Amino acid sequence: MDSLVKKTGVLFGVVGAAIVIACYLYIWQNEDFANIALGIGIYIIPLAVGIAAQVYSKKRQGGLLTLKQAVLAFFLSVLIIFVGEAVINYLIFVVWDPEAQETVRILQESMVEQEKASSNAAVQVSEIDYSFKGYAIATASKLLFYTVIGIITAFFIKKNKPTT
Residue 10 domain-assigned?
Answer: yes
Q: pLDDT tens-digit profile of 80-117? A: 999 999 999 888 887 787 777 777 777 777 776 766 66
Residue 162 domain-assigned?
Answer: no
Residue 18 domain-assigned?
Answer: yes
pLDDT band at 122 (very low <50, low <70, confident <90, very high): low
CA dist., res. 77 & res. 108, Å (int): 31
Residue 132 domain-assigned?
Answer: yes
Number of domains the chain is built from = 1
Q: What is the pLDDT, as a whole number, of residue 22?
A: 92
Burial environment of residue 71 by CB neighbours within 10 A (0 to 12, 13 to 18, 19 or more): buried
Residue 164 domain-assigned?
Answer: no
| CA end-to-end distance (rounded Å), the chain | 21
Q: pLDDT tens-digit profile of 92-102? A: 887 787 777 77
Q: What is the dihedral of CA 157, 161, 162, 163, to 10 degrees?
A: -130
User: What range does the domain containing 24 cover?
Assistant: 1-157
Q: What is the pLDDT, as a whole number, of residue 124?
A: 62
